[in-house]
Structure 1
């Protein structure tokens, strides 16, 4: 008895079915369009569909030693969930397949390979220069704030084996910081119906035009019978209204984030043109503000004070990396690091593995830099309110170098209590909270920074700043 997942042979009595697609998953697997987005509401089986589709079974990919696929998530933490599910699926499909944990690569008995990677920020795309896959997949596409990584990987989608298809595939929910560009690329309306976007590829050198479709296949929880009677629908019904509409109904509504802490402050920054290009001034010291994650995400904001302005010139976030990685990133950032580098209060907690605290390790790695631990506030809300007040000052945020940080500040919000049908005073811990927590370190020491700021730029330095002020 053979193992199989091809939906065309599910009724064959001689085939042992190890995975059976829902009708929508089968539609996604059968699509021959080059660029396909699958998803919408939660519970549509997006990750499973992507893992199976990466095998290109309908084109014999699993039996072709030349087949190469890669699946991306936004962070290392999120990638672990996808890998964990692959460990359940792939060994059932091919018992002789092996997984290399360090390289994050599955090698099947034919020699076909499926690789896993993550793209925490736009610069991570450059790690994949010189690589090639005939299948490239992105899980939870709207978590990428911009389309930079997505479009760059198109240049890596190739194969010398003409029997293998070239596919770009993605899955997503309707929410996330990249919602706008994803909606625009696939022509998705608020109600989330299926779309076919005609695309003409013009080759002026060869004088040819190639026509294709960019397709969006929506999926709903109600179409996934495997999740019926599991309580998942009831869990979604307890979400805040806008999240419930997105994840249960598959609506792609854009607009105000209900329960967001910094809504008014961010609206003011935009209306006054203070989210824009922010020039770096090499003569001004750079401060950094951190949120640390030993086994989670670490986020860093880069900040200068120039002519009385608080300028956020860059931000960086990554996951699954040790402090050595972030120390190296600081040194490679090409900025004047002679300012103060502010760490959260838990930086003084000692790790069970090393017996050292984060601040100890960073001081050893970067002895020339000044690290300071920000004292813990009695209530997180106190620090948030301090930050809101500080944002009313002369604050500027770079709209390109800090695009993910801006999205986090827009979306950092309160936890919703479904029993009371109201938001609590407690922040929601999600993909936006790391940058927001790092930014809060700035708000908590804002008055101290203003009082202790000794850098008084000369008129010449002010002119060189290419100014945000007159």
Structure 2
């Protein structure tokens, strides 16, 4: 294959060759560009190459600074792994710092990798600056908070370097709505180029820039022809097949979603809105645990018979002390609440010889932890949660955006052979928040929730553990 860094037809280095659509993306000079659509369009590769800014001599300029974001740390690993296959052959002598996740090129130019799992993560990049900022799989961010915040970080003192915001995505994910609106994308997924007029009243001038969407489909990527990937996409459920194979941006009901009716009812009655935190009342939490993997936590207050969810937090690649610190620094009255862990919190780690419950109790001795009893069938817990959601339940639209998206998309697994949905939950990026939320439904059913001063224990069920 031939590497054509500037999107032209002449080979520069025998490493990588763009498709026609990738070339269009690489050669686009508009400030804000979204590339993607169907799966298999070569989005991640195109973003990695584009971050080099080869046309403007970017990676050969000591002042060039670029950063590429993914939603979570595990997802970031794939992008880093691919960069390690490409970058050393492009620039001999380029080195990668595994700890800092930064490529340094012989010129001194740098390309960094980061992740923004929560809106609060954007503040980690306060005071930083890059002339190139890229987001891989943009619709995985349920809101535009992180994306817009990073705009203020896109700058450079070197006028020879371009200032560029780039993103790639498929037409799915919890952020599909705001991405479609921002780029003016219709359901057919056709290309768009939206003019943006910026008025500078002080300087008395108007500047016009463009926000461009470049769609790509699997059929336009010759590198994946005859690989069987198209046949695999053809076996997906109809909605996913239309999105990932045809590049259609249809929004609607998630087929097989467990909580579809409950979430619709909650929206209809105004249950998803701004939910204020009451500092005079205790805050409970409901957890789904992952040992150095994804852990999800819902923050909850029970006031005047209402269940108010004031925040949903998720992170990955962190140990339990990260979440203990997060609770302590949350600003909420977690001391007076109860903190509900799933049944596997009692399982001891082979590495430490301790359970997550024991570790959290040692780190947070003043907090009250309870283990939600194990159920034989996860569908029982899902149904308990569905019933609980029909009560007076409210969720903060901003602070719980990730969790809300998870509940909207948590669905049954699909049986390709028989073209039906099974009764087994699909394990995907939405599962952790959904599993954490299910601890609330199960705890409510078991009579474990409620203000501590009014707590009445039911007879201890088999396998339960009271703390």
Q: Please say if residues 233 and 245 of structure 2, whose CA atoms lie closer than 8 Å, have aligned partners that are also in contact.
A: yes
* 349-358 vs 271-280, which moves further: 349-358
- What is the rounded CA distance, in whole Å, between the counterparts of 2:280 and 2:244 in structure 1? 48
The CA deviation string for residues 120-143 of structure 1, in whole angstroms up to 9 with x for no partner, is 111111111110000000000001
> Alignment partner of 2:177: what SS?
helix
Query: What residue number does 2:358 align with?
Result: 360
The CA deviation string for residues 242-284 of structure 1, in whole angstroms up to 9 with x for no partner, is 1111000000001111110001111111111111222222222
Query: What residue number does 1:463 align with?
Result: none
Query: What residue number does 2:281 align with?
Result: 284
How far 1:331 sits from its partner (Å)?
A: 0.5
Q: Please say if residues 173 and 246 of structure 1, whose CA atoms lie closer than 8 Å, have aligned partners that are also in contact.
A: yes
The CA deviation string for residues 38-76 of structure 1, in whole angstroms up to 9 with x for no partner, is 000000000000000000011111110110000001111
Query: What residue number does 2:371 align with?
Result: 373
User: 1:55-204 counterparts in 2 under 5 A?
Assistant: 55-204=52-201
The CA deviation string for residues 384-433 of structure 1, in whole angstroms up to 9 with x for no partner, is 01100111122111112111111111111111112111100111111111
- What is the rounded CA distance, in whole Å, between the counterparts of 1:453 and 1:365 in structure 2? 23
Query: What residue number does 2:4 align with?
Result: 5
Matched, 1:348 2:346: yes
Q: Please say if residues 39 and 217 of structure 2, whose CA atoms lie closer than 8 Å, have aligned partners that are also in contact.
A: yes
> Alignment partner of 1:17: what SS?
coil
* 183-192 vs 367-376, which moves further: 367-376
* 432-441 vs 228-237, which moves further: 228-237
**Selected match of 1:234 from 231, 234, 237:** 231
* 36-45 vs 334-343, which moves further: 334-343
Matched, 1:51 2:48: yes
Q: Please say if residues 196 and 216 of structure 1, whose CA atoms lie closer than 8 Å, have aligned partners that are also in contact.
A: yes
- What is the rounded CA distance, in whole Å, between the counterparts of 1:110 and 1:239 in structure 2? 46
- What is the rounded CA distance, in whole Å, between the counterparts of 2:448 and 2:354 in structure 1? 32
Cα 1:16–1:271 change in 2 (3 A) is: closer
Matched, 1:443 2:441: yes
Question: What TM-score comes out, normalization by structure 2 length?
Answer: 0.94
- What is the rounded CA distance, in whole Å, between the counterparts of 2:449 and 2:379 in structure 1? 23
Query: What residue number does 1:467 align with?
Result: none
- What is the rounded CA distance, in whole Å, between the counterparts of 1:150 and 1:216 in structure 2? 16
Query: What residue number does 2:400 align with?
Result: 402
Cα 1:157–1:7 change in 2 (3 A) is: closer
* 169-178 vs 317-326, which moves further: 317-326
Cα 1:417–1:4 change in 2 (3 A) is: closer
Question: What TM-score comes out, normalization by structure 1 length?
Answer: 0.94
- What is the rounded CA distance, in whole Å, between the counterparts of 1:304 and 1:101 in structure 2? 41
The CA deviation string for residues 10-63 of structure 1, in whole angstroms up to 9 with x for no partner, is 545xx5410110110011000000000000000000000000000001111111
The CA deviation string for residues 93-114 of structure 1, in whole angstroms up to 9 with x for no partner, is 1221111111110001110000
> Alignment partner of 1:156: what SS?
coil
Q: Please say if residues 7 and 20 of structure 1, whose CA atoms lie closer than 8 Å, have aligned partners that are also in contact.
A: no
Q: Please say if residues 7 and 27 of structure 2, whose CA atoms lie closer than 8 Å, have aligned partners that are also in contact.
A: no
Cα 1:451–1:82 change in 2 (3 A) is: closer
How far 1:354 sits from its partner (Å)?
A: 2.2
Cα 1:9–1:283 change in 2 (3 A) is: closer
> Alignment partner of 2:446: what SS?
helix
> Alignment partner of 2:300: what SS?
strand
How far 1:455 sits from its partner (Å)?
A: 4.7
User: 1:408-419 counterparts in 2 under 5 A?
Assistant: 408-419=406-417
Query: What residue number does 1:390 align with?
Result: 388
Matched, 1:323 2:320: yes
Query: What residue number does 1:40 align with?
Result: 37
Q: Please say if residues 6 and 55 of structure 2, whose CA atoms lie closer than 8 Å, have aligned partners that are also in contact.
A: no
- What is the rounded CA distance, in whole Å, between the counterparts of 1:410 and 1:280 in structure 2? 24
The runs of 5 or more residues in structure 2 that have no matched partner are 455-467
